Structure 1
Amino acid sequence: MPDPSTDLITLGRRIRHHRKLRELTLDQLGARVGVVGSQLSLIENGRREPKLSLLQAISVELGVSVPELLSGEAPDARTALEIELAKSQAGPLYAALGLPVVPTSRNLPLETLESLVGLHRELTRRAGESIATPEEARRANTENRLAMRALDNYLPDLERLAEEMLASVGHTTGALTHRSVSLLAERLGFTLIYVDDLPHSARSVTDLANGRIYLPPASIPGGHGLRSMALQAVAHRVLGHTPPQSYAEFLQQRLEINYFAAACLMPQTASVAFLQAAKQRKDLAVEDFRDAFGVTHEAAALRLTNLSTSHLDMTVHFLRVGEDGAIYKAYENDGLPLPVDVTGAVEGQLVCRYWAARGALARTNRTTEFYQYTDTPAGTFWCATQTGKTDGGSFSISFGVPFSQAKWFRGRDTGMRQVSRCPDESCCRRPATELADRWSENAWPSAKLHAHILSPLPSGKFPGIDDNEVYSFLESHSGS
């Protein structure tokens, strides 16, 4: 039998090509090799795989070797178009349209064949553009979160890769310098270039042709430092990423580059040593971890979720919550009852008003971490919360553990304690009866509209990226 990987459509078209060169009909060739013409027709159309003995007989009659018949190359330009059309029509994308298949016979005019192939190419291109509706994004985010929860948010292969890369540029301890990041890029054949006119839809742009990574000249709001952005751009190359074929793949790539960047900024060996020493002293603190490696509070808290279960033997949770109480990011493997919608998504869900993630935003003094114990239907949890502010508004970062693990952390002696009954709506969502009676018929608020939740991301090769803007940018800089 032919190799299972043999392209039957190409094989069939090559047999037909050489049969036509010999000026043989299907019935004539069939009589010579011992099969009926209809069976040969199925083989030539890629619908039936010939036995090896039959393939050998055909090769003898056509005067062509078996390896030549099995070649993956089309015998001529016309046949190449026929093969492409046949494959396109056999694929799931075309099948989903419910349209009839156009026979790719020699009677099909060349102009028609070229038009049909062109239409299929455009259909494939458009389908390949990663267009993400809010629903699709939420589903993909949920799948990602649950997958990482099953792994305790820990990716050992990326940890090892990050340490190998750091060792290659001589980085051992302390905060990772911009110089070391530049050396990492240079080892991969890239130069970091800082520009003022970076496309508004992109955090960075990599010019693969000229070996350049373009970055903004200064840190952007939200704690995304230049080192992190550069490392994320480098990570795409280190990890061998190709343009994402779906929004889920796009999110997976984002997860991997963020993880790699964090593992470089806070290397596993040095981080674990630092954290284990702090745990032994019963003085673990996100702010100390943050300061030791020169990163943002959010980055340090997220990095703790990577290392706590695998190296500190603790289950944990993390929250980034906006000033309206909605979740932007969340992770837990300690049983904290995160609010979820019917699909299991947490993004955009409101956390309980009694959780520290919301309570800290109401505090007048936000310069220090806020500690709190919270009794929930799933048990008691301790957390440390820090607040920040961007152009988009205030936010809080919370890192916490179950009650039994609080003994390892600074702030464990806090007297702040709250009780949360959520998701029971009587906890903090349902208004008091007397207030509802007074105002339910006398209030007409106008809600803020978050337009971004109603629209899909701009379509293009990469979700959210304006291709025209990026390509124009690269063209303008290619000669510099």
Structure 2
Amino acid sequence: MARTDLALTTLGHRIRHHRTARGLTLEALGAEVGVAGSQLSLIENGRREPKLSLLQAIARACGTDLGDLLSDEPPSRRAALEIELARAQDSPVFRQLGIPPVRVTRSMSDETLSSIIGLHRELQRRESEAIATPEEARRANTELRLRMRGENNYIGAIEQIAQQQLQAAGHAGGALTHRTVSTMAERLGLQLIYVSDLPASTRSLTDLENGRIYLPPASVPGGHGLRSMALQAIAHQLLEHASPTSYADFLRQRLEINYFAAACLIPEAAGVEFLQQAKKERNLAVEDFRDAFGVTHESAALRMTNLMTEHLGMRLHFLRVEEDGAIARAYENDGLPLPQDVTGSVEGLPVCRRFQARAALRAQNRPTEEHQYTDTPAGSFWCATQTGSSASGGFSISVGVPYQDTRWWRGRETTARASSTCPDEACCRRPTGEAAARWSGRAWPSARVHTHMFSPLPRGAFPGVDEIEVYDFLERHAAEPGLTRPPRR
């Protein structure tokens, strides 16, 4: 009957509970079961494993049964506290500190035990955060991407919530206005306030106590994105998000608020109607979808991944590729072969040089949109690519489909064609034999090391957020005159 230390500790507590409830001392119980009281003390303290026959005798003497003694449940709140403390003080996290364990006595109050256990829980939580690695984040992100791919990148529940909020705010159609977004916030008892001193680690900040959503000034470059920021802040409240308990939880929440914002900026019914008509006319184009709803090219492309497979039965892929050729964001359910690491993640990996998503970035004169067919080991794909720039550098946005679905898209007549055998490194990642023979051993490049290679994952419930800056900001603005909380409707 080999039992773990924790099970022996629980067993000891249960024996002590039944013994004291029976009014027996260690010596009295020992006399009844035929062992010394000191031996029973070792059993009750979890330091000795009793034989089955002795346990049966103890159960009879205490007026209970063997199954009750062997239960894994602590017999009382006090016992549960003592067991948890024993487990915490036996953990590697605590032992490596070199601090003597606390000896529990009868005079020690439950409140004292709870306080000590609270410290151990916080120690364990911080240790768990500290060991979080970029690999774990990549795994969590990959799991989320694969789950969404299995669901057509479509979340019906959020679509419904967005539709209800738009109707309640009186949105009848066309591009969503800032005023309508403000009305949506007001219905939740929130007021949109534009400030120039937002903490650098935040995109927006919601003061739940005073009913305010702080946003950057409307005049900042790219101010069209303020609608999306406000909608994301609103989404946290509508979707009843709690503080994230893990990095995976944080990523899920971020995906959900982005989805809600997209579903408001391009409502499902209107978006599907537009795409169906464009398909009927064989004139599907991201830029038309973008212009019809007044959103960015990337937002329009991503929204297509929510609607086209679900409602048009069309598989597709989306890529955002940075200037250095690395994938920043990707979605595919059409079989496009993308590079993957051992975790299954694609983000941060170089896309094939032959793909239009990367080739467009090498062009000196970048037209508004380029189209290309690419033959791959998984089949032929067509794509439309738009380039752009941000504070961090250039990037490209690509949306594409398998060859058989090209007939529905504008730009299908392109004669541009490339061939890729990636992930075979001979395709575009390995120098030619001639170049290698010419330069191998005759050059010494100094690599640009990305700082993120050495950065641990940001800690805290909201990774990367500087709480000191956040609370200082809230204190500065909490007492501002002239700001009243809108009534909740």
User: Does TM, normalized by the shorter one, top 0.5?
Assistant: yes
What amino acid is aligned across from residue 140 of structure 1 in structure 2?
A
How far does the alpha carbon of each residue in 1:61-114 deviate from its partner, in whole angstroms, 9 at most, with x for none?
A: xxxxxxxxxxxx97xxxx6xx7556446558x9756486986754154889747
Aligned to 2:172: 172
Residue 230 of structure 1 pairs with residue 230 of structure 2: yes
Q: Secondary structure at the match of 2:299?
A: helix
Change (3 A) 1:122 1:286: same
- Bigger shift: 115-124 or 97-106? 97-106
Question: C-alpha distance in 1, partners of 2:252/2:326?
Answer: 23
- Bigger shift: 94-103 or 234-243? 94-103
What amino acid is aligned across from residue 401 of structure 2 in structure 1?
V
What amino acid is aligned across from residue 464 of structure 1 in structure 2?
G
Question: C-alpha distance in 2, partners of 1:284/1:241?
Answer: 36
Question: C-alpha distance in 2, partners of 1:439/1:347?
Answer: 31
Q: Secondary structure at the match of 1:225?
A: helix
Please state how far the C-alpha of 1:284 moved relative to its aligned partner.
0.5
Question: C-alpha distance in 1, partners of 2:301/2:460?
Answer: 33
Normalising to structure 2: TM-score of the pair? 0.79
Question: C-alpha distance in 2, partners of 1:295/1:130?
Answer: 39
Kindly indicate whether the alpha-carbon contact (under 8 Å) linking 1:385 and 1:396 is maintained by their aligned counterparts in 2: yes
Change (3 A) 1:360 1:205: same
Aligned to 2:469: 469
What amino acid is aligned across from residue 346 of structure 1 in structure 2?
V
Aligned to 1:334: 334
What amino acid is aligned across from residue 213 of structure 1 in structure 2?
I
Please state how far the C-alpha of 1:121 moved relative to its aligned partner.
4.3
How far does the alpha carbon of each residue in 1:174-199 deviate from its partner, in whole angstroms, 9 at most, with x for none?
A: 11111111111111111111111100
Q: Secondary structure at the match of 2:186?
A: helix
Kindly indicate whether the alpha-carbon contact (under 8 Å) linking 2:338 and 2:423 is maintained by their aligned counterparts in 1: no
Change (3 A) 1:243 1:474: same
How far does the alpha carbon of each residue in 1:450-476 deviate from its partner, in whole angstroms, 9 at most, with x for none?
A: 112320233223111111111111111
Residue 349 of structure 1 pairs with residue 349 of structure 2: yes
Q: Secondary structure at the match of 1:364?
A: coil
Kindly indicate whether the alpha-carbon contact (under 8 Å) linking 2:203 and 2:215 is maintained by their aligned counterparts in 1: yes
Aligned to 2:393: 393
Residues 126-205 of structure 1: pairs in structure 2 closer than 5 A: 126=126, 132-205=132-205
Question: C-alpha distance in 1, partners of 2:476/2:130?
Answer: 26
Please state how far the C-alpha of 1:159 moved relative to its aligned partner.
0.8
Residue 240 of structure 1 pairs with residue 240 of structure 2: yes
How far does the alpha carbon of each residue in 1:208-257 deviate from its partner, in whole angstroms, 9 at most, with x for none?
A: 11111111113766787001011111111111111111111100111111
Q: What residue ranges of structure 1 are gaps of 5+ in the alignment?
A: 1-8, 30-36, 43-53, 59-72
Question: C-alpha distance in 2, partners of 1:165/1:314?
Answer: 28
Kindly indicate whether the alpha-carbon contact (under 8 Å) linking 1:149 and 1:332 is maintained by their aligned counterparts in 2: yes
Question: C-alpha distance in 2, partners of 1:94/1:376?
Answer: 56
Kindly indicate whether the alpha-carbon contact (under 8 Å) linking 1:134 and 1:454 is maintained by their aligned counterparts in 2: no
How far does the alpha carbon of each residue in 1:367-426 deviate from its partner, in whole angstroms, 9 at most, with x for none?
A: 411111000010000000000001211000000000000100000111111111111222
Change (3 A) 1:209 1:96: farther
Question: C-alpha distance in 1, partners of 2:351/2:338?
Answer: 7
Question: C-alpha distance in 2, partners of 1:297/1:422?
Answer: 27
Question: C-alpha distance in 2, partners of 1:208/1:313?
Answer: 42
RMSD value, Cα: 3.9
Change (3 A) 1:178 1:454: same
- Bigger shift: 454-463 or 464-473? 454-463
Change (3 A) 1:27 1:369: farther
Q: Secondary structure at the match of 1:147?
A: helix
Kindly indicate whether the alpha-carbon contact (under 8 Å) linking 1:131 and 1:247 is maintained by their aligned counterparts in 2: no
Kindly indicate whether the alpha-carbon contact (under 8 Å) linking 1:314 and 1:405 is maintained by their aligned counterparts in 2: yes
Question: C-alpha distance in 2, partners of 1:166/1:460?
Answer: 33
Q: What residue ranges of structure 2 are gaps of 5+ in the alignment?
A: 1-8, 30-36, 45-58, 64-75, 481-489
Change (3 A) 1:273 1:130: farther
How far does the alpha carbon of each residue in 1:1-59 deviate from its partner, in whole angstroms, 9 at most, with x for none?
A: xxxxxxxx9xx99xx99x99999868999xxxxxxx989x98xxxxxxxxxxx9xx99x
Residues 256-335 of structure 1: pairs in structure 2 closer than 5 A: 256-335=256-335
Question: C-alpha distance in 2, partners of 1:376/1:290?
Answer: 29
Kindly indicate whether the alpha-carbon contact (under 8 Å) linking 2:135 and 2:343 is maintained by their aligned counterparts in 1: no
- Bigger shift: 402-411 or 169-178? 169-178
Aligned to 1:411: 411
What amino acid is aligned across from residue 420 of structure 1 in structure 2?
S
Please state how far the C-alpha of 1:262 moved relative to its aligned partner.
0.5
Aligned to 1:3: none
Kindly indicate whether the alpha-carbon contact (under 8 Å) linking 1:223 and 1:296 is maintained by their aligned counterparts in 2: no
Q: Secondary structure at the match of 2:460?
A: coil
- Bigger shift: 325-334 or 184-193? 184-193
Q: What is the aligned residue count?
A: 441
Question: C-alpha distance in 2, partners of 1:166/1:283?
Answer: 28
Normalising to structure 1: TM-score of the pair? 0.81
How far does the alpha carbon of each residue in 1:127-152 deviate from its partner, in whole angstroms, 9 at most, with x for none?
A: 57597532122111111111111111
Aligned to 1:67: none
How far does the alpha carbon of each residue in 1:310-336 deviate from its partner, in whole angstroms, 9 at most, with x for none?
A: 001100000000111100001100000
Change (3 A) 1:426 1:110: closer
